[in-house]
Structure 1
Amino acid sequence: MTSVRDATIGTLRRLGVATLYANPGSTEISFLADFPDDLRFVLALHEGSVVGLATGQAIATGAPAVALLHTTAGLGNAVGALATARVNRAPLLVLVGQQDRRHLALEPFLTGKLTGLAGDYPVWVESPARAQDVPGAVARGWHEAVTGRGPALVIVPSGDWQEGMPDSEVVAAPRAITRAAGLDEADIEPVADMLTSASTPVLVSGAGSDEPRTWDALVALAERLRCPVWQEPFGARAGFPQDHPQYAGVLPADRSRLRAALREHDVVVTVGAAAIRQYPFEPGPLVEPGTAVAVVIDDPDEAHRSPADQVILASLPAACERLARRVPARTTPAPEFKSAVGPAPPASGEPLRAGHVLAALASLVSPETIVVEETPSSRPELHRLLPARRPLGFVSAAMGGLGFALPAATGLRMARPDRPVVAVVGDGSAIYGIQALWSAAQYGVGVLFVILANGRYAVMDRLAEGHGDTKPPWPDFSDVNMSWMARSFGCPALRLDTYSELTQVLGDVVPQLAERTDPLLLDVSVAPDPEFHP
C-alpha cells in the first residue's frame, strides 16, 4: 500500500507535471516534506505571484500549470490572480491546503471556508469526500482545467496526504482525454455564406486566435477576402500578425468610435473573441444598423454572450481553415496600412515619454520576442509601436486587475527559454507584483523588465479629468524608487533618466536577451502622456 501523497505525485508525473509553484504554509508541509527531485519546486513570495508565475507557464505551453496555495490566506490573496487566469484562458491545477479533516468540525486554527472563496472564477472546485479520493480529484482537476480553460481547485486537508492508498482503489478520473477538433463542411456554411455575399467584409481577431495554425488560416482568409483585420479591444493576446499590411490596428473601446471604425463594413466576423468587448459604458449599438455580425469561437461562454447574428462554436484552426478554402477569392485591391512611426528623440530639455521608450525597444527587439504588457496609460502606443509579429508575441492581463506582468513574464520565460521576454510595465502596476522579482532572480530567469515610471496612476488621473475634476483626491507616488525595490529582491536594476542612457543600455542588453539567464529591471523615468484614450 502506498500513501495518498505518493499516489498523487505519481498522478502528477503521469500528467507530465514538471514544476510546482508555491508559497506554502503549515497545512502543506505533509505534502512537501521530502519533495521528489524530479519535480521542480518554485517559491514565490506572495500568492498573487504564485498564480501569476503558473499563469505565465500555462499561457506559454497551453497545458495546465500547478500551483499550491495555503488555506484561506493563500487562496484569498490569490483570488485576483485566479480571476485573471480565468479571463486569460490559462488552465491551472490549484491545490489548496486545509486543516486536518479529523477535527474540521471544531473549526481549529487555519480552518478555511474555501469552497466559494474564489467565487465563480474557478472552472471547478472539489473537496474530496475521502483522503483516497485525492489522486482522482487531482487528475480530474487537470482535465477540468483543460476543458474549462481556467483554474481548477482541489482542496486537500493536511492529514490526507499520509493516509493509505490501496493498490486496488478506484481512481475516479480518466488517464487521458482526446478532444475531437473536427467539424463538417456544413457547420461553417452560415458564416461562409455571409462572407461570400458581403460587399465590404471585415475580420476582428481575438486573443483566442493566438496560435500558429489559426494565424496562418486567418492570414489566408484575410488575403482571399482582401479585407482589413482589426484586433479586439483589450485583447490579452494578438490573434493576427500585426505587421501584416492588412492589419488595421486595435478597435476602439467605446461604442461611438467602434461604430465609426466599422461603419463601412456590412459583415463583421470576430474570430477568437466575443463580439465585441468594450469599456467604459456608452449607450447605443455596437455596430450600425444593417451590419451583420458573426462570431467564430471555441469558448462556449464567449459564444453565448455575443450579440451576433451567427456563431460557430468549434475548433478555431479547423473552422478558419475551412472558411479560407470555402470563401471565394476577391480581386478588389487589398487595403494596406503603413507601419507606425515613433516619435522623434526628445530635444534637449524635453522630458522622456513612454513613446520614446517604446520606439527605442521596437527598433531592437527580434520578431520572436514575447512582449508582456501592463502599462494602462501607454497601452495604445505600445500596440502602435510594438506589433506582435509571431504567435505569443503579445501577452497582457485580460481581467484588467494589476499585478500580472512581473510574475507572468517570469513564468513565460521559465516555460519558453527559447523566446526572449520583455515586460513593459507601469510603476503603479509593478508595485502590485513586485515580489515576483525575487523568484526571477532566485531561479535565473532572463526577463527584461522595462518599468515606465511616471510616479502616478496616470489612467486614473485622466479618467478623473474626464469627469471635470482638475485635482484628484489621491497623491502621486513619485518617491517610490523601483530600482531600489528591485535590488532589495536580488534583481539587478538600473535607473535611467535620459534618452542617451536608455538607448545605450537597450543597445547593449536587447540583442543578448535570448541568451540572458539573469533578470534586469530598467527603471525609466518618464513624464505622463498628456492624452490617453482606452
Structure 2
Amino acid sequence: MRTVRDAAFDVLRRHGMTRIFANPGSTEVPLLTDLPGDLEFVLALHEGSVVGAATGWALVRDRPAVVLLHTTAGLGNAAGALATARVNRAPMVVLVGQQDRGHLAQEPFLAGRLDGLGGDYPVRTETPVRAQDVPGAIGRAVHAARRERGPALVIVPMDDWGRPAEDLPVPAPAELRHSTGADPHLVERVAGLLAGAGSPALVAGAGADDRRTWDALATLAGRLGCPVWQEPFGARAGFPQDHPQFAGHLPAGRAELREILAPYDLVLAVGAPVLRQYGYQDGPLAPATTRLALVTDDPAEAERAPVGLAVVAPLPGFCAALAERTPARAATFAAARPPSPAPPAPGEPLRPEHVLAALARRMPADTVVVEETPSSRTRLHELLPAREPLGFLSAAMGGLGFALPAAIGVRMGAPGRPVVAVAGDGSALYQIQALWTAAHYGVGVIFVVLANGRYAIMDQLAAEQGGKAPWPAFTEVSVAGLARSLGCPARTVTGHGDLLRTLDELTPTLGNRTEPLVLEVAVTADPAPPA
C-alpha cells in the first residue's frame, strides 16, 4: 500500500532533493528506517551542524536542501543556525518531527510546541491538518523556500508517515477541583475513594519530590498496605525507591501499562501526569475496571488528565492530611527486588548493568544521580534507587545534553552533597563543553560516561521497526580525550577489575571533592543475555 512516506519521498525526488541532513530522534524513526537506496542520509552530531551543512549545500547547489530535526530539542537547538540560513538566503525544507497525533493533547514525552519556536526566521511553517496533507505541505514548502530564499518548516507527527491517528479516551477530568491548601472536604473526598477501594495503588511523580511529601506518601502507603509506582518517564523520584512498598517504574507503553494496572480498582496519581506515555499505542491507559484519580499542584497537568477526580493543591500539606484521614487496613504489600547482575565472566565485555551495580554498592544514600542514558535507563532505575529527595534527576523533556550541565548546577547549589552524572556517550556529546565549567570552577562531580560509540537507543528503536538504521556509529569519538581538551581530568575504564578499583578509590571522595572527573567506561552496545 502506498503510504504518506512514499508520496513524500516522491515529492523530494521530483525536486532533486535526495540528500537528508539530520540529527534524528525517535519521532523520526518511522520516516528513516529502511531508507530507499536513492536517498542519502547525512548525520551531524548537533543541529547547528545539521543546518550549517545544509546551508552550504543549498548555496552551492542553488536548490533547497532537506533538513530533518527532532521535535522541540532539535528545532530549538537549530534556531540560531536557521536565522543564519535565512540571512544567507539559503533555501531549505526543514521537516520537524512531532509526537504521535493520537495523544498530543496529553503532552506525552517528547511532544513539542513547535509552531513559532523558530521565531520569524522560517519563510513558511506548515502544520498539516491530516496525514494525507503532508506531501502537499512539503511541496508548498519547496516552492516557498525557493521563492523567498530561506528555511520553510513542515511539522509532521511521527504516525503520519505510515498510518492515521487513533482516537484516545477524553483527555480531561470528569471533575476538577482547586484548593489553596488541604481543604478538608477535598481531603475527605480523596480519602473516601481510597477507603472504598478494594485494591488501591499509588503513582508518585516528580511533583512529589520533597521531604514532606515523601514522608506523607510513605505514611499513606503504610496505612493502605498498597504498592507505590513511579510515573513513566519521571524526571525526579516521587517516593523513596528503597521502600518495601515501592513497586517500580510504570512502563511507557499502553498495553503493558494496562496489564500492570489490571489488579487495582483505584489508582491515585500524586504529582504525576496521568499517565505520561512515549510511543503511541492504541487503547486506554488503564482497564475499564480501574478508576483513576489525581492530586497535583500543576493545573495544566490536571486539565488534561483522563480521570474521574483531579485535585489541584499544594502537595505537602494535602498529602499529610490525606495520610491522616485515610483509614488503615490490614492488607500489606512488599515488592520483590530485581537481582543484581552477576559480574562479567573472564573475557566478557562490560555491560551497563555491571557499571550501575558497582555504583549502587558504593554510593552514599544521599547521592544525586543525574541520568541521561536512554538505552540503559530501565536498568538504572532497577539498580540505583533514589533513597533521598532529589536522589534522581533527569530531563523532563527529553532533549539530549541535560545531564552534564545539570549535574554541575546541582553540585554548585548543594556543595556538600555527592553528585554523580550517568550519561551515554551520545548524550554527553551534546553538552560536552559543560566540562570546562566544572573544571574551571572546581565542581566535584563524577561523570560516568557509558561509552558504546553509538546512539544505542536509536538502534533499538530502528530494530523494533523491523528495518535497518541509516545512521553510522561514532566509535572514533573519545569522550575522555574531549574532556581533557576542556581542562577536565578523565580516565578510561575498560574492564570490570579496573572499574571496581576506580570506584573504590573515588566514591569515598564524593562528598568533599573539588575536582571533576570523567570516567569513560567502555560498554557493549549489545543487549544483555537472558536471565
TM-score category by the smaller chain? Answer: 0.5 to 0.7
Aligned to 1:452: 450
Q: TM-score, normalised by structure 2?
A: 0.67
1:522 matched to 2:519? yes
What letter matches 1:393 in structure 2?
G
Question: How far off its partner does 1:278 sit?
Answer: 0.9
Alpha-carbon distance in structure 2 between the residues aligned to 1:463 and 1:356:
23
Relative to structure 1, is the Cα distance of residues 222 and 442 closer, same or farther in structure 2, using a 3 angstrom cutoff? same
Question: How far off its partner does 1:379 sit?
Answer: 0.2
Alpha-carbon distance in structure 2 between the residues aligned to 1:76 and 1:206:
38
Structure 1, gaps ≥5 residues long = 1-45, 49-71, 81-86, 88-111, 115-179
Aligned to 2:199: 200
What letter matches 1:187 in structure 2?
L
Aligned to 1:182: 181
Aligned to 2:214: 215
Relative to structure 1, is the Cα distance of residues 511 and 339 closer, same or farther in structure 2, using a 3 angstrom cutoff? farther
Answer whether contact 1:181 1:318 (CA < 8 A) is retained. Answer: no
Q: Secondary structure of 2:294's partner? A: strand
CA offsets 1:400-440 (integer angstroms, 9 cap, x no match): 11000000000010011121000000000000010100000
Answer whether contact 2:423 2:448 (CA < 8 A) is retained. Answer: yes
Instruction: Give the superposed CA RMSD.
Output: 3.3
Alignment of 1:408-487 (within 5 A): 408-469=406-467, 471-487=468-484
Aligned to 2:496: 499
Answer whether contact 1:462 1:531 (CA < 8 A) is retained. Answer: no
Alignment of 1:142-153 (within 5 A): none
Alpha-carbon distance in structure 2 between the residues aligned to 1:181 and 1:527:
51
Question: How far off its partner does 1:322 sit?
Answer: 1.2
The match for 1:369 among 359, 367, 378 is: 367
Relative to structure 1, is the Cα distance of residues 74 and 213 closer, same or farther in structure 2, using a 3 angstrom cutoff? farther
Relative to structure 1, is the Cα distance of residues 409 and 76 closer, same or farther in structure 2, using a 3 angstrom cutoff? farther
Alpha-carbon distance in structure 1 between the residues aligned to 2:320 and 2:310:
16
Aligned to 1:331: 330
Aligned to 2:272: 273
Relative to structure 1, is the Cα distance of residues 74 and 321 closer, same or farther in structure 2, using a 3 angstrom cutoff? farther
Structure 2, gaps ≥5 residues long = 1-45, 49-78, 85-95, 97-106, 108-118, 122-178
Alpha-carbon distance in structure 1 between the residues aligned to 2:182 and 2:509:
44
Question: How far off its partner does 1:339 sit?
Answer: 3.1
Alignment of 1:56-205 (within 5 A): 73=80, 181-205=180-204
Alpha-carbon distance in structure 2 between the residues aligned to 1:209 and 1:74:
38
Aligned to 1:317: 316
What letter matches 1:275 in structure 2?
V
Alpha-carbon distance in structure 2 between the residues aligned to 1:461 and 1:531:
15
What letter matches 1:494 in structure 2?
R
Q: TM-score, normalised by structure 1?
A: 0.67
CA offsets 1:266-316 (integer angstroms, 9 cap, x no match): 000000011001111000111111211000000011010100110110001
Answer whether contact 1:492 1:520 (CA < 8 A) is retained. Answer: yes
Aligned to 1:284: 283
Alpha-carbon distance in structure 2 between the residues aligned to 1:248 and 1:200:
14
Alpha-carbon distance in structure 2 between the residues aligned to 1:358 and 1:228:
25
Aligned to 2:260: 261
Alpha-carbon distance in structure 1 between the residues aligned to 2:357 and 2:244:
19
Alpha-carbon distance in structure 1 between the residues aligned to 2:343 and 2:437:
35
Aligned to 1:69: none
Aligned to 1:509: 506
Aligned to 1:41: none
Aligned to 1:343: 341
Aligned length: 379
Alpha-carbon distance in structure 1 between the residues aligned to 2:515 and 2:457:
32
What letter matches 1:456 in structure 2?
R
Aligned to 1:300: 299
Question: How far off its partner does 1:529 sit?
Answer: 4.0
Q: Secondary structure of 1:514's partner? A: coil
Question: How far off its partner does 1:181 sit?
Answer: 4.9
What letter matches 2:326 in structure 1?
V
Alpha-carbon distance in structure 1 between the residues aligned to 2:260 and 2:514:
44
The match for 1:488 among 468, 485, 488 is: 485
Relative to structure 1, is the Cα distance of residues 182 and 337 closer, same or farther in structure 2, using a 3 angstrom cutoff? same
What letter matches 1:299 in structure 2?
D
CA offsets 1:340-397 (integer angstroms, 9 cap, x no match): 3221111111010000000000000000100000000000000000000000000000
CA offsets 1:12-68 (integer angstroms, 9 cap, x no match): xxxxxxxxxxxxxxxxxxxxxxxxxxxxxxxxxx9x9xxxxxxxxxxxxxxxxxxxx
Alpha-carbon distance in structure 2 between the residues aligned to 1:529 and 1:307:
38
Q: Percent identity?
A: 57
CA offsets 1:149-179 (integer angstroms, 9 cap, x no match): xxxxxxxxxxxxxxxxxxxxxxxxxxxxxxx
Question: How far off its partner does 1:113 sit?
Answer: 5.9
Q: Secondary structure of 1:317's partner? A: helix
Alpha-carbon distance in structure 1 between the residues aligned to 2:82 and 2:229:
37
What letter matches 1:263 in structure 2?
A
